[in-house]
Amino acid sequence: YSLNQKLPMQTFTHLDFLQITENEKFIKDSFSTEKKEKSPKQETINNILNYSKALSVRKSKNIDFIEMVLN
């Protein structure tokens, strides 16, 4: 097509408009709804932190490492 020629108009049916409207609503709703981010419970975080504080890893002459929980 040249710039002076008009493009043929596309014909939409009532059903086409309904589908377009549904799709637009779905897209709009998916952006507007705030999704709660999942995160671990505070108790789980505390357990991991406490474990990391109690864990002792030492280099050994005979074996690679010695791991101990110091509780």
Residue range 2-51, pLDDT digits in tens: 566 777 778 888 999 999 999 999 988 887 767 778 899 999 999 999 99
pLDDT of residue 3: 63
DSSP state of 68: E
Question: Would you say 71 and 54 are in contact if contact means Cβ atoms under 8 Å apart?
Answer: yes
Query: Where do we find the tokens 């990391």?
Result: 52
Model-level pTM?
0.43
Q: Where are the domains of the chain?
A: 41-71
What is the DSSP annotation of 11-64? P--HHHHHHHHHHHHHHHHHHHSPPPPP---HHHHHHHHHHHHHEEEEE-SSSS
**Distance (Å, rounded) from C-alpha 21 to C-alpha 27?**
10
